[in-house]
């Protein structure tokens, strides 16, 4: 039952979010040999001024052992 959560800056259209969810679903199905019905995708908009406190620290720094693709940036 893979569940993927994507957090990003606001501004993407619903069409872009739907396309991303579809692409992620296909990637999970292919890579993990999962059925489509077992995959779920959530997309959360996070304001730029909230990124460090709501994403970078709790999801990246505090969970460093779970990060398989590290970001190439440091928050300001």
Q: Domains (ranges, CATH) in the chain? A: 3-66 (3.30.429.10)
User: What pTM, to 2 d.p., does this model score?
Assistant: 0.92
Q: Is the dihedral of CA 16, 21, 24, 30 positive or negative?
A: negative
* Catalytic choice (2, 58, 71, 75): 2
Question: Tens place of pLDDT for every residue, the chain, 76 residues?
Answer: 999 999 999 999 999 999 999 999 999 999 999 999 999 999 999 999 999 999 999 999 999 999 999 999 988 6
Active site residue 2: yes
């Amino acid at each position: 039952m893979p569940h993927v959560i994507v957090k990003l800056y606001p501004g993407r259209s619903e069409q872009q979010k739907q396309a991303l969810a579809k692409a992620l679903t296909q990637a999970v199905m292919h890579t993990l040999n999962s059925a489509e019905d077992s995959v779920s995708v959530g997309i959360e908009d996070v304001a730029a001024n909230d990124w460090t406190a709501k994403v970078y620290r709790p999801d990246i720094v505090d969970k460093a052992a779970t990060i398989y693709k590290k970001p190439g940036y440091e928050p300001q």
